[in-house]
Structure 1
Amino acid sequence: MVVVNFAFAIVNVLFKKILDQGTNSVVIATYRLSISAIFLAPIAYYWERKSRPRLTASIFCHLFLSALVGLAFTQYLFLKGLEYISATFSCAFLNTVPVNTFILALLFGLEKADMTSKAGRRKMLGAFICMGGAVLLILYRGIPLTKSHSKAAATDILNHAGTMISGKKSQRWVVGSILSLAGCFMWSSWFLIQAKISKIFPFQYSSTAIMSFFGAIQSVILSLSIERNLSMWVLKTKMEILSVLYGGIIGSGLCYVGMSCALGSVLVILGLYFLLWGKSIEAAGDCGEKQAQLAGEEDHRETEAQIPATISGSHP
């Protein structure tokens, strides 16, 4: 999981670089998903051809919906938000995905939270702390964490602070944060859809390749509905080509500085760990109940086995 998060961080940094150079966000998403589909298609064919069942209309509909929610819309919102905020903040918002998934699962009845138990209270506390951290990341800018003693550096910091608190900059920051948070909610919804797909079509390479193909088509339609300038599809620099290749093969194919950054990120991560702590306690309790049940059944079987032996021993 650490390797996957590290790979996603590199993807965000690379995409932020080419977005600042003027590359269209939907074009990036389209190329990324297309490369992912091309990369995974032969792997899925040779690896799962013997065990893969026949694709039905129901499976195709689920995969199409999953691609629309988790790839086309999520990629668009994330990349659009990345145009306005830094890659660091974009990665910080990704930590809200497990909590968002828990909240959505709770609303749809797929998850439970018993407020009378410690595990349930810790899960809800973690969810509130994590979402509070996300709100703090959006609304609170804070002060610089480092200060320079030189007069020139102090002047630069003041000028930078003045630029950051300008109305236009603050508006871009809020818009980018909201788009990133919306992308996280879309991604969380995608996990719920994937949970059902994994039951009816548990073939990861094939499902990811098909979803990437659908997502690429959906991204093309989305881009043409927004802008029809054909020149935006031309990748002009090596950085753009390498970024979409890395994002498609690694990011989509294989993975599927201010005080505000520190405080908000700490709250998001702290809330995430509270939620995971509550989940682990709940899982441990369920495991203990199952062990006790198995032990009771074993004792019951031993008792039943001893009764005939006792009866036969009592005969003359």
Structure 2
Amino acid sequence: MWSAGCMEQWMPAAAMVATNVVIAIMTALIKQALNQGMNRLVLITFRQMVATVFLGPIAYFKERKMRPKFTAEIFVYTFLSGIIGPVLLQYTLFVGLDYTTATFAATFSNMLPVVTFLISLAFRFETLEVRSMSGSFKISGTLISLGGAMMLTFYKGSALTHTTSSISPASSSGHREAGGEHGTVRWVLGSVSMLANVVGFALWLLLQRKFTRKYPAVYSATAFMSLFSFIQAGALALSIQRTSIAVWALKGTIEIVTVVYCGVVASGMGYLLLTYCVEKRGPVFTAAFSPLSQIFVAGIDLFILHEPLYLGSVLGSVLVILGLYMVLWGKKEEAANAVASAKPVQAEVEQQEKV
């Protein structure tokens, strides 16, 4: 039986693994929905609407006795969390996928741990002792994890399974558009969009860290963020699609399942898990798990979509997991050293108080 302390120690890691499973399934569903022609902003709007309906009652009853006052400062935090997180991050990801390739977009997404680490250092949310073992492990682990993620996308290698897959028309058209001046412009725009996505995600994680400290009611904060992002995405969609009502009609099972799953599981439960992990362990810990989603996507491709498994995927996955545990070990060692160094100071203060 695990002790309460052991459970408390491993819960954030388990929550991040679960979050990445949710992200992998969500990615597969969104890909199918967008391939069927679903509008990006409409998908975001419906997703956040479902999340608001799902989380609102839970937040109201669970935190009605401990919910802090909703001040003007909290309003600003909620507004920024909504527009940066659910709205802009999703939209820039969709644009990046549309203007470049899935491989290129995945490569940019896997830069998140490095970007988050650098931004955290710049804002002094994270400390780094380069000469210490924990600091060396954090740096090396982040780079190794990034290298593994890049291997997953750039190095295919020989096929380890005998399943075959066909190239979709959308993928073929994307490759045709990659040439020429128009293709170059689209590629640059897609690159800028993915860069904005990664930097925005890193900033959003840092924002969530401050937000949860000022407004510790996690369920209510997530529900308010879902409500704000629903209004924001809906306003953008209505302003852009003023003459087209047909885009708001959900067509087929895939679009309905995608909206419900993304709203309830991804935007609802997923954001709760993510916010919980940011509050408990900080943004770098949370971002270090991001490459795992690509491994889970590969699993979905292999066992559900019957895509072939390549040597590069296996080698890249090993590097990602190795780097991930190096980062986690570095953070754990750093936290242990901080606690150990604080004990003599605390003992000295207690001794002085007795005197």
Same fold (TM over 0.5): yes
The 3 A distance-change label for structure 1 pair 173 and 133 is: farther
Where in structure 2 are the equivalents of 1:34-45 lying within 5 Å?
34-45=49-60
For 1:17, which of 8, 28, 32 is the aligned residue?
A: 32
Q: Which residue of 2 aligns with 1:255?
A: 270
Structure 2 unpaired stretches of 5+: 1-14, 272-308
Q: Is 1:236 aligned to 2:288, yes or no?
A: no
The 3 A distance-change label for structure 1 pair 42 and 29 is: same
Q: Which residue of 1 aligns with 2:200?
A: 186
Does the 8 Å contact 1:98/1:272 carry over to 2? no
Aligned residues: 293
Q: Which residue of 2 aligns with 1:70?
A: 85
Shift of 1:101: 2.3
Separation in 2 of the partners of 1:57 and 1:260? 50
**Local SS of the residue matching 1:255:** helix
Q: Which residue of 2 aligns with 1:29?
A: 44
Shift of 1:39: 1.3
Shift of 1:81: 3.9
Separation in 2 of the partners of 1:120 and 1:77? 32
1:268-297 deviation digits (Å, cap 9, x = unpaired): 444333222211121121222234545667
1:20-40 deviation digits (Å, cap 9, x = unpaired): 111112211111111111111
Separation in 2 of the partners of 1:79 and 1:266? 28
Shift of 1:220: 2.3
Q: Is 1:283 aligned to 2:355, yes or no?
A: no
> Identity rate of aligned residues, in percent?
39
Does the 8 Å contact 1:89/1:261 carry over to 2? no
Shift of 1:203: 0.7
1:139-171 deviation digits (Å, cap 9, x = unpaired): x354442486xxxx8xx999x9xx699564697
Separation in 1 of the partners of 2:107 and 2:48? 23
Q: Which residue of 2 aligns with 1:223?
A: 237
Separation in 1 of the partners of 2:203 and 2:21? 23
Q: Which residue of 2 aligns with 1:113?
A: 128
Q: Which residue of 2 aligns with 1:101?
A: 116
**Amino acid in the other structure paired with 2:73:** S
Q: Which residue of 2 aligns with 1:309?
A: none
Deviates most, 204-213 or 95-104: 95-104
The 3 A distance-change label for structure 1 pair 96 and 275 is: farther
Separation in 1 of the partners of 2:174 and 2:229? 37
The 3 A distance-change label for structure 1 pair 11 and 176 is: farther
Does the 8 Å contact 1:32/1:245 carry over to 2? yes
1:150-200 deviation digits (Å, cap 9, x = unpaired): xxx8xx999x9xx69956469789976775564233222111111111111
The 3 A distance-change label for structure 1 pair 173 and 251 is: farther
1:32-53 deviation digits (Å, cap 9, x = unpaired): 1111111111211222222213
Deviates most, 89-98 or 250-259: 89-98
1:205-252 deviation digits (Å, cap 9, x = unpaired): 111111111111221233345544321111111221111011100101
For 2:214, which of 178, 200, 217 is the aligned residue?
A: 200
Shift of 1:255: 1.5
Deviates most, 35-44 or 174-183: 174-183
For 1:50, which of 61, 65, 68 is the aligned residue?
A: 65
Separation in 2 of the partners of 1:165 and 1:32? 27
**Amino acid in the other structure paired with 1:202:** P
Separation in 1 of the partners of 2:240 and 2:323? 37
Does the 8 Å contact 1:85/1:177 carry over to 2? no
Does the 8 Å contact 1:70/1:189 carry over to 2? no
Q: Which residue of 2 aligns with 1:7?
A: 22
